[in-house]
Amino acid sequence: MALNGILSIDLAVKNPDELSEFWQRRGLTADASGTLGTADRNKQITVVEDDYRHLAALHLSCETEQDLANIAKRLKDMGVESTISGTTLTCKDPIVDHAITVEVGAPAPLTPSPDRSLNSSGKINRDGLRADAITELKPRSPRRLGHVVIGTPHFEKVTDFYINGLGFKVSDQILNGIATFMRVESDHHNLFIHPGFTSHLNHYALEVDDVDAIGKLGMEVLAERPDANVVGVGRHNLGANMFWYLTDPSGNMFEFFSDMDQITDDEDWARNHCKRDWEGSDGPAGFSVWGPKEPESFINQPDLFEIAAAREARGLI
């Protein structure tokens, strides 16, 4: 796989300090430039100022300089301009309009999550001890940025750009491309594209250790922002990850997730598991195996008219 990592994103919001402080209270660290990081990866989210919320930049990595040249050629064939400087390629998403960089390298490795002993029927793994979730003094911090989700009325063109231009791998599709899960790492998805009223950031997702971490971090957010809940806790069908969706102070939806399907053999997945015609939300690939169904606001977020007006004022389709 030429592309091999999602490195970080830039989030544009009206009040960068408010959003940065929100994530610092969740355990992320910040430098003077507004960049937020985790214990293992010091650059995951850079918060910038703008007059409406949107994804401002997506930073990816690839294996070799030849990969950059291959990406540049594919983009040129699609009519998309790009520039290579040293070991970094830059371009723009031609529809959604955020900046994209691809640099030779890879995401920093993660330290393994601590082993947590779980008791189950007929098997005692934790004898005479309380569960770690009871004794830990504070919620465990997010481990990394895992994926982003983009909604757009031009989903065919945007999907084509990421797959046939940049080189994302398809993991699963709903109804032959109405919505597409795609990856650059072993995660089932690092990017999901679905139809939307206007091109916008649907949500960004941070991986945490386990369902206890999801629950405790989510409850901490609700204690601070009681109206932040969107949907959760549950387990998705496609990707199979545990989830809880909430909103940040800037109006972005975000997800705490854990236990996502991992794909390390691309050929096996494509041959035996990938499906291009999963049905919609009422089919076998519905929103969740268990847990709440997605509310209307999950797709039709309340500020989409504001975002559409801001994009129109900038001449964006």
- Show Cβ contacts of residue 271 under 8 Å, excluding neighbours closer than 6 positions: none
In this prediction, residue 281 carries a pLDDT of 58
Instruction: Give the least confident one: 232-241, 276-285, 288-297.
Output: 276-285
Residue whose C-alpha is closest to residue 214's, from 168, 259, 166, 278: 259
Arithmetic mean of pLDDT, 151-178: 97
- Show Cβ contacts of residue 71 under 8 Å, excluding neighbours closer than 6 positions: 2, 62, 82, 89, 102, 165, 166, 167
Tokens read off for 255:
């997800």
In this prediction, residue 85 carries a pLDDT of 98
Burial label for 138, CB within 10 Å (0-12, 13-18, 19+), is exposed
Q: Are strands 54-62 and 99-104 parallel, antiparallel or unpaired?
A: parallel
Domain ranges, ordered by start, for the chain: 3-109+141-313
Contact 249, 296 (CB under 8 A): no
Q: What is the pLDDT of residues 208-251, one digit of tens each?
A: 999 999 999 999 999 999 999 999 999 999 999 999 999 999 99
Average confidence score pLDDT of the chain: 96
Does the pTM exceed 0.85?
Answer: yes
Arithmetic mean of pLDDT, 268-285: 85
Say whether pLDDT at 1 is over 60: no
Residue whose C-alpha is closest to residue 201's, from 259, 280, 255, 241: 255
Which overall architecture, per CATH, does domain 3-109+141-313 show?
A: Roll (3.10)
**CB count, 10 Å around CB of 198?**
20
- Reported confidence tier of residue 279, pLDDT bands at 50, 70, 90: confident
- Show Cβ contacts of residue 181 under 8 Å, excluding neighbours closer than 6 positions: 170, 171, 172, 173, 188, 189, 191, 192, 238, 239
Contact 15, 47 (CB under 8 A): no
In this prediction, residue 282 carries a pLDDT of 62
- Reported confidence tier of residue 33, pLDDT bands at 50, 70, 90: confident
CA dihedral 163, 315, 202, 238 (to 10 degrees): -20
Instruction: Give the least confident one: 71-80, 175-184, 274-283.
Output: 274-283
Q: Quick one: what percent of the chain has pLDDT higher than 70?
A: 98
Residue whose C-alpha is closest to residue 5's, from 142, 207, 131, 191: 191
Say whether pLDDT at 275 is over 70: yes
- Report d(CA 104, CA 207) in Å as an integer: 24
